[in-house]
Amino acid sequence: MNKLTIIGNLTRDPEMRVTPSGVNVCTFSVAVNRRGRRDDQNSQPEADFFRVTAWRQLGENCARFLAKGRKVCVIGPVSVHTYTGSDGQFRASLEVTADDVEFLSSRNDGETGAYSAPAAAPAAAESQAASFTAVETDELPF
């Protein structure tokens, strides 16, 4: 069984194309940070990059709702493509054909893809704090 699940951030905006037979296809790339590893030069986490291809309605939704920096979960089979770079070196590219794409950040999250909690109004916070009653620890049943 060849099924990969990745969670990461888009490295660029999705690109939507239509095949000559009229089928929609959307491509984008996802950066997945490696846990616990850092690049010594600039103290950034090391990342793996995956090219993702989403077909038909899934591709249309990805093109409509995703943008650079958004966090996604992609599930699908992975394949490796090798090629020779412009410098003559052999390189490999990991490509995932998306069976499912879960949008993990909302459209209102901006470019970072991170969730931000709404700021509480100061008056509401004060009134909520005033409604609590102090409890002695001796009164607790545990």
pLDDT tens digits, 63-102:
999 999 999 999 999 999 888 888 989 888 889 999 999 9
Q: 39 pLDDT exceeds 60?
A: no
Domains and CATH numbers, the chain: 4-115 (2.40.50.140)
pLDDT of residue 60: 94
Q: What does the alpha-carbon distance between residue 132 and residue 16 come to, in Å, rounded to a whole number? A: 54
Q: What is the pTM of this model?
A: 0.66
Q: What does the alpha-carbon distance between residue 123 and residue 101 come to, in Å, rounded to a whole number? A: 41
pLDDT tens digits, 130-140:
666 666 666 66
